[in-house]
Structure 1
Amino acid sequence: MQRKGGRGGAGPDVEAALDELYSLAPSDFTARREVLAAAARSAGRAEDGRRIHAARRPTLAAWAANLLLRSRPDESRRFHELGQALREAYQTLDAEGVKELSGQSRGVVTALSRQAAQLAREAGHRLSDSAQQDVESTLRAVLTDQDAADRWITGRLESALTPPTAFPSVTAPTAGTRREPAEPAAEPPPSRREAAKKDDADRRRRQEELARARKAAKAATQRVRDQRAARAKAETLLKRLRDRREQARQQVSAAERQLEQARAELERADHDAQEAEKQRAQASDALTRAEQSAHEADEEVRRLAAPAG
């Protein structure tokens, strides 16, 4: 999520450098920080170099929360707006409305923390259970504390955030409490009439914000359902493909064994054919010699049988 302009008079180079740093995995942070700080000092921007060098490496949970903000900008923006509406609702609306919105918000926090864990895993860093809890704690803090929300929206968290222990108290009539009819109010003076109009306008605005927040929470809950269905479908497809791969692997193994057996049989057949060829050659030679001997014997017989001259 991009920010407009620089901060504290710093030029765009240092802001871009810090954005780059906090988009990196913690394992790559320190080395890249030193390179960027040295580059700023070499360019004659000593103050930028000091600021870059002072940047603290984020924890794994803080990095995952930053990654969620950058990778899911639309959902992060709606979550930020939901937190603004929820914080205002706790101060101005009835307890039932707050209870409903808080329940929806818990589902959104769970869904977004799982998305952050998945994004971290896809980037090559699996979150431990403790880090996953820190991400959820950070998101709850974003919902309930304005300062935490302002820090998260920069995308440069260094450590996990902790939500306040509770929202400001919300006063609402206790169920079953009887309300006495109010006395007819006297016509307020013009200044009080204007104040009443302003209060009505503020109340309507808050109700509209609550309606938008409820709509955002409902949409987020639906997205959770859709993502779960998509994940289940992907898991089913993955299992089917893994089964196909295993079946193909077994077929390849069987074919390779058959090929090895066929090659061995071919070698034996070649050897036997060569032996048979030798035997045929020997038999041919023996036959030739036998025929020659028989011919010579016939000649001898005819010579001896001829009358003496």
Structure 2
Amino acid sequence: MTAPDAPEFEDAADELYGLHPDRFVPRRTELVKAAKAAKDKETATAIGALRKPSLGAWLANVLARESPDEVGALEDLGGHLREAQESLSGDALRTLTKQRRDLVGALVARARKLAREDGEKVGDSVARDLEQTIAAALADPDAARAFAAGRLTTALEPGVGFEGGSSARSAGGTGTRRPPPPRGTRPAPTRRREEPEEPEDEGPDPAEEERARAREEAERAVERAREARDDAARAAERARHRAEQAEGDLTEAAESARSLRERLERAEAEETSARETRDGARQAAEEADTAADEARRALDQAEAERADLE
């Protein structure tokens, strides 16, 4: 019975780095088993060594596959920016800086849309990872080519030494290779040339399987740590938002209290004035009553005197 064809390493890498990180390890395991079944231990080992990408790296890989022209333009734009900086060309630098800002904004917005289509909501920390990768691609031609290759495992950082190299086995390498296929496509199988029949495989190597399990467990631990970091970042963002709201509420309450105090002070002043007016009116009324009594007595006396004269 003829052994099944082993998956080609380039095809396997292209497929894996187009998958969401949650689907990376199960599919890698399937491809490793397929290579072993085809008795291609070298390819099985190479595929097994491929590292699962972080969410930020996956987002960059998806963007490179879906918007290759825009991502490919980063290398040229970065070169023009460096030339403008070296020549101290202010006008050119301002124009290129605006182009960079517009391009970065458009790429991040495009990546967020692609992630939503894949059921992934991109948080601020993942978006910052993508922005850093774009900045690194603008600053370093090797980083730009690695970004365009669509096989990043971690987000690139501007200003940090970048490991290039042209190894066809390197997931982040910058060697010449065909462009990655669009998301959701599977590369066509490639027929391998007939090779001499190898001795029957003696079965899986327990030590290799143990190392593979350890690698997968380490990857899961790293992913859990990243998720915890992202959750903490989101919680901190929510807490900052609540603090800003509380600060606004406090300012509004203080303003309301100040207004109420001013109204209370005016009301108290008006009350004092009204009381004084009332007291003055009462005193005037009492004096008027006294005068009226005196006038009545004078009238009575005058009437009495007139009666005596009659």
TM-score bin, normalised by smaller chain: 0.3 to 0.5
**Could you state the TM-score of these two structures normalised by the residue count of structure 1?**
0.47
